[in-house]
């Protein structure tokens, strides 16, 4: 598989639009495309999957480790691997380049194409490009300019190719019809965008017209062979996974591990009446339960089915939106009512970013002392009198450490705001599935 990374100098400059346009253009040319997203994001990945017809994978060094990232890349078997970066090229876990797009590019030996949306500038843009090229020995193959007119593009192209050591592959003119709408956790989900495929088809047409895609593809680097030691034995466990518009935040590799371990059935908490028959393990992932609250709260049969199953001891792992769903109320509307307490939306992010959790309280699901890298990204708070089992620590730029309590165990259910990639710790998922 031949790979390229699409990055930028900052968020909001068109990485996702260009990535989706390239994926669609390649599909229209008859190629298969394996999409990837660097970092912990679920929403961009869902857009990739919808356009490519192949589920996107994440490449996150902090959550997965370097070996996990290599293994995830190796699972792609398409003609091309199109990889969208995260934030700016060199932005990672803190004030250095650790776990950044550049870190992944160097680890996997994959060239980077920069998508830049220039402000009123010419030579200054060249200085920025040279700074990106020279900063940390990252293989930058070239530049695509976004949201510029033809005359401005010609001026910028002449200046960049005189002053910078990288080519300009072309540009995308400003076109509001191909823009993607956002909400509090990022882009509005792909499943909610009316006419998404028509919108991205138009974007791919623009790319084919204004960008030399053949030159971009010449820069793609073939994958190197990597070990993949991230597997679980099959035990025949009946596993139910919530998957609909309210619950869609899952890492592809997490689901693959569950599918290796047992018999996975996907269901909709908003549309189905009851849990799949003979469920022995339930996975409630993150998503937007607060957006689809009328559908969730208005499905009392499913709420009762889940509440009864968990009260009877069915094992369950509920992440973020899943945790909210298992409380008594979300913003006053009744939900599953398994955990005592309620969830409410706030106006800002809570405990945002990478962190490391440690199991510090004895419980029936996870061994004490277990440490797992995790990520939090939510605007809600849960108020509960359930006892917590995690101590979560987040290192700060000034050397200080932010610390909070998390993770609630009741019967055989773990509810938490912390998103975990199972590649980061197989012992974590084994304990959840099979017990300590």
Catalytic residues: 320
Interatomic CA distance for residues 132 and 150, integer angstroms:
25
Interatomic CA distance for residues 436 and 413, integer angstroms:
14
Whether the Cβ atoms of residue 225 and residue 69 lie closer than 8 Å to each other: no
Whether the Cβ atoms of residue 292 and residue 252 lie closer than 8 Å to each other: no
Whether the Cβ atoms of residue 215 and residue 169 lie closer than 8 Å to each other: yes
Interatomic CA distance for residues 252 and 231, integer angstroms:
13
Cα distances (angstroms) measured from residue 387 to each of 277, 384, 408 = 31, 8, 6
The H or E element that residue 217 is part of is helix 213-218
Whether the Cβ atoms of residue 266 and residue 243 lie closer than 8 Å to each other: yes
- The strand pair at 221-222 and 2-8 is best described as antiparallel
Both tokens of 17, joined, read: 């639009």
Both tokens of 202, joined, read: 């138009």
Interatomic CA distance for residues 374 and 64, integer angstroms:
10
- Identify the residue whose tokens are 């490391």: 356
State the DSSP string of 93-154. Answer: SSSS-TTSHHHHHHHHT--EEEEE---S-SHHHHHHHHHHHHHS---EEEEEEES--HHHHH
The length of the chain in residues reads 436
Query: CA 59, 4, 139: angle at the middle one, nearest 5?
Result: 95
Interatomic CA distance for residues 92 and 73, integer angstroms:
19
Interatomic CA distance for residues 31 and 207, integer angstroms:
16
- Residues pairing with 394 in the sheet: 402
Whether the Cβ atoms of residue 163 and residue 130 lie closer than 8 Å to each other: yes
Interatomic CA distance for residues 419 and 319, integer angstroms:
6
Beta-carbon contacts of 194 under 8 Å, excluding residues fewer than 6 positions away, are: none
């Amino acid at each position: 598989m031949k790979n390229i990374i699409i990055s930028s100098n900052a968020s909001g400059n068109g990485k996702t639009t260009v990535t989706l346009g390239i994926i669609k253009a390649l599909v229209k040319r008859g190629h298969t495309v394996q999409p990837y997203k660097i970092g912990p994001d679920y929403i961009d990945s869902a857009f990739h999957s919808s356009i490519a017809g192949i589920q996107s994978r994440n490449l996150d060094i902090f959550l997965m480790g370097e070996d996990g990232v290599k293994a995830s890349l190796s699972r792609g078997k398409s003609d091309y691997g199109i990889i969208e970066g995260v934030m700016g090229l060199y932005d990672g876990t803190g004030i250095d380049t650790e776990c950044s797009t550049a870190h992944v590019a160097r680890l996997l030996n994959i060239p980077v194409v920069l998508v830049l949306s220039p402000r009123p500038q010419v030579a200054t843009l060249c200085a920025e490009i040279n700074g990106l090229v020279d900063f940390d020995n990252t293989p930058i193959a070239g530049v695509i300019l976004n949201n510029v007119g033809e005359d401005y593009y010609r001026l910028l192209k002449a200046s960049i190719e005189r002053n910078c050591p990288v080519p300009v592959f072309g540009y995308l003119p400003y076109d509001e019809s191909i823009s993607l709408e956002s909400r509090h956790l990022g882009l509005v989900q792909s499943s909610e965008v009316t006419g998404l495929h028509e919108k991205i088809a138009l974007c791919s047409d623009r790319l084919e017209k204004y960008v030399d895609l053949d030159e971009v593809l010449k820069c793609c680097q073939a994958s190197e062979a990597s070990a993949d030691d991230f597997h679980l034995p099959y035990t025949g466990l009946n596993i139910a996974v919530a998957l609909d518009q309210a619950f869609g935040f899952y890492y592809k590799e997490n689901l693959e591990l569950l599918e290796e371990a047992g018999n996975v059935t996907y269901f909709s908490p908003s549309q189905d009446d009851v849990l799949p028959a003979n469920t022995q393990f339930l996975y409630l992932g993150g998503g937007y339960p607060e957006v689809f609250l009328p559908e969730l709260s208005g499905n009392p049969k499913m709420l009762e089915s889940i509440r009864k199953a968990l009260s009877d001891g069915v094992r369950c792992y509920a992440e973020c939106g899943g945790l909210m769903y298992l409380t008594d109320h979300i913003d006053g509307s009744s939900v599953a009512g398994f955990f005592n307490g309620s969830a409410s939306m706030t106006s800002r992010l809570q405990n945002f970013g990478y962190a490391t959790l440690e199991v510090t309280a004895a419980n029936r699901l996870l061994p004490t002392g277990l440490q797992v890298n995790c990520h939090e990204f939510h605007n809600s708070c849960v108020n509960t009198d359930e006892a917590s089992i995690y101590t979560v620590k987040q290192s700060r730029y000034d050397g200080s450490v932010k610390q909070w309590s998390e993770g609630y165990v009741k019967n055989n259910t773990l509810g938490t705001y912390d998103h975990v990639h199972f590649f980061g710790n197989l012992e974590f998922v084994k304990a959840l599935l099979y017990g300590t």
